[in-house]
Structure 1
Amino acid sequence: MLVSATGSRESPKASLHHTPKVEPDAVDRNTLRAGSTPAGAGLTMAGLRGKPLIAYLVVCVFWGSTYLAIRVGVGVLPPFLFAGLRFLVAGVLLLGIALALGDRLPRRAVDWRTSAIVGLFLLSGGNAFVVWAEQFTASGIASIFVVTVALWMAFFDAIIPGGSGDLSWRVVAGLLLGFAGTALLVGATPAQILHADLRGPIALTLASASWSLGSVYAKRHPTEASPYVGAALQMIVGGGAVALVGFALGEWSAWHLTPRGLGAIAYLVVFGSILGYSAYTYALRHASPTIVGTYAYVNPVIAVLLGWLILREPVTARTFVAMAMILGAVVWIQFSHRVPGIGRRAVATAGASE
């Protein structure tokens, strides 16, 4: 299901023609259905069941496979135009499909504003800086900074009012375990990180923080806009802004579309943007940003497994230990996260009104 990062609350059975009614409560009935229990009721799965869980797994797999496509793309195409046009194409395609099937553009100015802000934070600030940084940073070093998305997201979700979950010691322990597992997986030493070209780490840190802040903002500001149109507008705004930066920097003179570049763009448009981005926003709508942000830990695992299966890259005992640490951390966080502010009466009321 394609869903906007604005957090539009659409019924799972709603058609593309339906614009849902929004109730901007911190925890909706879908979260209660997914198995959330009142704070203090012990460990519980934090909303990732059924369709949200499938969407989360889609993000883990598809975005884990985009590392290679991005590396191929920046090797033959200028980075900002490459990143910007990828999202522009995906946004235009998705918008065309949505409008052809009867959806309409947003009627409220606040919905346009929210879509624009989310698109700028996630796609302009988040994704574009990652693409730019990969020119100067080895993939292993880059992945260390990219996985800090999980830490940043937990931080912003905890400090920005209206959060859907608390930052307990269990969640913090799981986040740190996942980060340690990623460091072990990529084999990056502290010396390598400290001596990396500073342009890469700085850009990657800004990208991770921007992506995380935009995700939490989207969770806090649901809209009444069609989720499909909302997602398309985010990609058009975010991609357009990045493409303008590329034009301003004179990248058009270096733009020579080769079969490798075209293949990278096509893969990222379909699997990274339309499917992956939509699955991410769907999962974000149904679960805490802290929980959804753990996809960043799983992506390097998928990348390593694909390298082993497709490119016959070697794996060692250290690789399997690191994978066990990462996956164990993700499962631990899933069961450790609690949704506060829901009393037993609220759960009973939601169940009675089904």
Structure 2
Amino acid sequence: MLQLSRTRTAVYLAFLVLVWGVNWPLSKYALHFTPPILFAGLRTLIGGLILIMLALPGYKKLNFQKTWPVYVISSVLNIILYYGLQTIGLGYLPAGLFSAIVFFQPVLLGFCSWLWLGEEMHAWKWLGLVAGFLGVGVISAGGFAGHLSSTGILLALGSAVSWALGTVYTKKMAARVDLIWNVALQLTIGGVFLLASGSLLERWPSIVWSGSFIWSLLFISVFVIALGWLVFFKLVGSGEASKVGAFTFLIPVIAIVCSVIFMGESVTFNLVAGFVLIIASIMLVNFKKAGASAGGAEKAAE
């Protein structure tokens, strides 16, 4: 996969963090109108179908007969387990704690990328990944009160592990499959599975098809799901997965800022302190060791 320029990388990262941050409060709002599993299935299936339409002109790149296992495995890890475990797990834990555990993913991604992708791992990067996780934990500390279910903790960890493994697997298989087809089919396969599960466990008449819900669903399906996952894997495929993962620590910050602006929530000390830790995390993860070659530094920056 071609390397992205610094400018394009910065634009893609800004877009990804913004739309995935907005997704949390927007999804919370949308869940007033729909059962959770059906909502997860609808948004992923719509996103997948949108990308299929974009990918159709290059239908020869699909090569489904040889590459279908890649699409299925990617879908199981990145969509079915990631969204499915989240949907179930939020019923067992406070949202703040659950999101903090899910955002252990960048730390797991850094370890898995070092272990299976051969990415560089040094002390500063480890320190940065841990600082980012602590930052998310500080921001989410308000959700730590109440009964802590071991089942919920395991489901949150499962969601984080599936996302990390799915990201590494997708990058490792990038040379075998077309990027757009890979994202489109894993979303579509996952969406069909989640919709089927939702149809068995939930009721379609429970969905309130109001104008605000439809607009929320379309925004999430297009920008968060279709374009968001496409941009995420484009970034991961063109640079170090662990460095892209570090920037995702900013997502809870954006989510809370949006909640403050649009949902009347207040700015807290935890938000400021967590934000400082996350900025430090990104700086440490992207720190270039002295003596690195010019070529290596350029590649790391991308």
Give the TM interval when normalised to the shorter protein: 0.7 to 0.9
- Relative to the length of structure 1, the TM-score reads 0.75
Residues 1:139 and 1:266: Cα distance change in structure 2 (over 3 Å): same
Residues 1:201 and 1:324: Cα distance change in structure 2 (over 3 Å): same
Distance apart, 1:224 and its partner CA = 4.5
Contact 2:171 2:233 in 1 (8 A): no
Q: Does 1:291 align with 2:243?
A: yes
C-alpha separation between the residues in 1 aligned to 2:288 and 2:29?
Answer: 38
**How far does the alpha carbon of each residue in 1:304-346 deviate from its partner, in whole angstroms, 9 at most, with x for none?**
22223333432134422221111111121112589xxx988xx
Contact 1:127 1:211 in 2 (8 A): no
C-alpha separation between the residues in 1 aligned to 2:289 and 2:180?
Answer: 29
Q: How many residue pairs align between the two structures?
A: 297
AA aligned to 2:111 is F
Q: Does 1:152 align with 2:111?
A: no
C-alpha separation between the residues in 2 aligned to 1:313 and 1:205?
Answer: 27
Q: Does 1:112 align with 2:68?
A: yes
Match of 2:225 among 254, 269, 273: 273
Give the 5 Å matches for 1:192-211: 192=145, 195-211=147-163
Give the 5 Å matches for 1:10-25: 11=2
Q: Does 1:131 align with 2:87?
A: yes
**How far does the alpha carbon of each residue in 1:112-154 deviate from its partner, in whole angstroms, 9 at most, with x for none?**
2212211221011112322333344333122211211111212
Which residue of the partner structure matches residue 120 of structure 2? 166
Residue ranges of structure 1 left out of the alignment (5+ in a row): 1-8, 12-29, 35-48
- Name the larger-Rg structure: 1
AA aligned to 2:52 is L
Higher normalized helix content (fraction of residues): 2
Distance apart, 1:252 and its partner CA = 3.8
Which residue of the partner structure matches residue 265 of structure 2? 313
Match of 2:285 among 323, 327, 333: 333
C-alpha separation between the residues in 1 aligned to 2:203 and 2:24?
Answer: 22
C-alpha separation between the residues in 1 aligned to 2:262 and 2:288?
Answer: 35
Which residue of the partner structure matches residue 187 of structure 1? 141
Which residue of the partner structure matches residue 53 of structure 1? 10
Residues 1:343 and 1:79: Cα distance change in structure 2 (over 3 Å): same
Q: Does 1:77 align with 2:31?
A: no
**How far does the alpha carbon of each residue in 1:75-120 deviate from its partner, in whole angstroms, 9 at most, with x for none?**
3322222111211111112212332x45445125342221221122
Match of 2:21 among 35, 45, 64: 64
- Relative to the length of structure 2, the TM-score reads 0.86
Computed over aligned residues only, the root mean square deviation of the Cα atoms, in angstroms, reads 2.8
AA aligned to 1:166 is E
**How far does the alpha carbon of each residue in 1:182-214 deviate from its partner, in whole angstroms, 9 at most, with x for none?**
222222486x38x32444322211111001101
Distance apart, 1:256 and its partner CA = 4.5
C-alpha separation between the residues in 2 aligned to 1:189 and 1:211?
Answer: 22
AA aligned to 1:72 is Y
Which residue of the partner structure matches residue 186 of structure 2? 234
Which residue of the partner structure matches residue 168 of structure 2? 216
AA aligned to 2:100 is I
Which residue of the partner structure matches residue 44 of structure 1? none
C-alpha separation between the residues in 2 aligned to 1:54 and 1:110?
Answer: 34
Match of 1:90 among 25, 47, 52: 47
**How far does the alpha carbon of each residue in 1:264-311 deviate from its partner, in whole angstroms, 9 at most, with x for none?**
321210121122111101111112221111233110111122223333
Distance apart, 1:220 and its partner CA = 1.1
Which residue of the partner structure matches residue 176 of structure 1? 130
Distance apart, 1:157 and its partner CA = 1.7
4+ residue runs over 6 A deviation: none
Residues 1:91 and 1:337: Cα distance change in structure 2 (over 3 Å): farther
AA aligned to 1:185 is I
Residue ranges of structure 2 left out of the alignment (5+ in a row): none
What SS does the corresponding residue of 1:50 show, helix, strand or coil? helix
C-alpha separation between the residues in 2 aligned to 1:245 and 1:285?
Answer: 31
What SS does the corresponding residue of 1:303 show, helix, strand or coil? helix
Contact 1:166 1:337 in 2 (8 A): no
